[in-house]
């Protein structure tokens, strides 16, 4: 009986923690999707301006395009790329929490069942 109470309390505590972590992970996933969409936009903008510059011979126009579009798009693209790497790392870390909690729950269930 005492084993069952310990199991219930332990499982309940771990499940509550897992729920909290799952909410954080869901927020990270949502932000990741938003950043991924924005990265895709800037990837296209950056690529298009690069192609236009390569197809243009007038240096004055090229410089205008570089200053007005290409450099800002390139900066945004690289910033978003770094940000998405950070979000991927956060996802990995919080997913690891969930895996470890599940692992402890399985071990505890097996231990209590074996008793």
pLDDT tens-digit map of 2-40: 555 556 788 889 999 999 999 999 999 999 999 999 999
Domain that residue 83 falls in: 29-114
With b for 16 or more beta-carbon neighbours within 10 A and e for fewer, the 4-42 pattern comes to eeebeeebeebeeebeebbeebeebeeebeebeebbeeb
Q: Is position 18 within any domain? A: no
Total tally of structural domains belonging to the chain: 1
pTM metric for this prediction: 0.79
For residue 7, tell me if it sits in a domain: no
């Amino acid at each position: 009986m005492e084993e069952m109470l310990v199991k219930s309390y332990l499982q309940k505590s771990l499940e509550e923690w897992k729920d909290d972590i799952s909410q954080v992970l869901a927020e990270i996933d949502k932000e990741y999707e938003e950043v991924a969409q924005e990265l895709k936009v800037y990837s296209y903008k950056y690529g298009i301006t690069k192609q236009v510059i390569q197809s243009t011979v007038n240096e004055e126009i090229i410089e205008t395009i570089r200053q007005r579009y290409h450099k800002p798009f390139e900066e945004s693209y690289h910033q978003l790329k770094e940000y998405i790497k950070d979000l991927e790392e956060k996802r990995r870390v919080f997913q690891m929490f969930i895996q470890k909690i599940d692992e402890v729950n399985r071990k505890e269930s097996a231990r209590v069942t074996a008793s």
